[in-house]
Structure 1
Amino acid sequence: MKPEMKATLAILILASTALSLPTATFAADPTAGAAGWTKEYPQADGSPARSCVTCHGRDLTKPGRHAVTNKVIEPLAPSVNPQRLTDQAKVEKWLLRNCRWTLGRECTAAEKADFVSYIQTQ
């Protein structure tokens, strides 16, 4: 099996199991995930707009730093951090928390799949 097919299959399996999404409903789009990653979302409380880049950075092969706690966030890129995206419960937990904190709401199923597919390409 070609590496691209393995990555696509892994994303679909992750999306269908960890995120409880039917795989036939849509295809994950890493380009949309990248766009959502850098998009700045206004905050309801008037604090500065946030994006995923705020804490995780643009280069997912490098550590990030939480904007509030200043704690180091290990790289998200599976290419340098093989543990990333391996625990389905953690993926769902962190997508829920981070979407709420950054977007001000839960991510849609399509957004979750797009973010995961983008991270998987790094």
Structure 2
Amino acid sequence: MKTSLVLALAAAGALSLPATLLAADAAAGKAGWSKEYPQSDGSPARSCVTCHGKDLTQPGRQANTGKVIEPLAPSVNPKRLTDQAKIEKWLLRNCKWTLGRECTATEKADFVAYIKTQ
């Protein structure tokens, strides 16, 4: 019901949402999450799973430093995905480290959509 209302309001022009948010695909986010990306420096391929793991309800561990990463799943960590500036900061940093480039707006929306399902 909420999704239908949001989409109806957006379609009517009563609500301004980025097209990538409306088109976010959690399945594509999940696929991108576990995809391994070759590294230009010859180091082993990386994926989001490298540090965050497959189960986002559990803590992860940063591959270089060993620092614990709190669970990403909003279902167990309600603070996640509540601060837009932090989301942008970490997506920028993590996309560059993992993919070797900045994520596209669509990739970001898909990753966030996937994380929200956890």
Give TM class, smaller chain: 0.7 to 0.9
Q: Who is 2:45 aligned against?
A: 49
Indicate if the aligned counterparts of 2:74 and 2:80 stay in contact, CA closer than 8 A: yes
Contact preservation (8 Å) 2:74, 2:116: yes
1:59 and 2:55 aligned: yes
Pairwise CA RMSD: 1.9
Please state if 1:31 is matched with 2:32: no
Q: Tell me the matched-pair count.
A: 107
For the residue of structure 1 that corresponds to 2:19, the secondary structure is coil
Identity in percent: 79
1:80 is aligned to 2:76: yes
Shift of 1:22: 2.2
Q: Normalising by structure 1, what TM-score?
A: 0.82
| Partner of residue 18, structure 1 | none
Which residue pairs with 2:64 in the alignment? Answer: 68
Deviations 1:51-109 (A, max 9, x none): 00000000000000000000000000000000000000000000000000000000000
The correspondence of residues 90-109 of structure 1 with structure 2, limited to 5 A, is 90-109=86-105
AA of the residue aligned to 1:30 = A
Query: In the aligned structure 2, how far is the partner of 1:38 from the partner of 1:31?
Result: 11
Contact persistence 2:62–2:68 (CA under 8 A): yes
Q: CA deviation at 1:23?
A: 2.5
Gapped regions of structure 1 (runs ≥ 5): 10-20
Structure 2 gaps, min length 5: 7-16
- Structure 1 runs of 4+ aligned residues shifted over 2 Å read 21-26
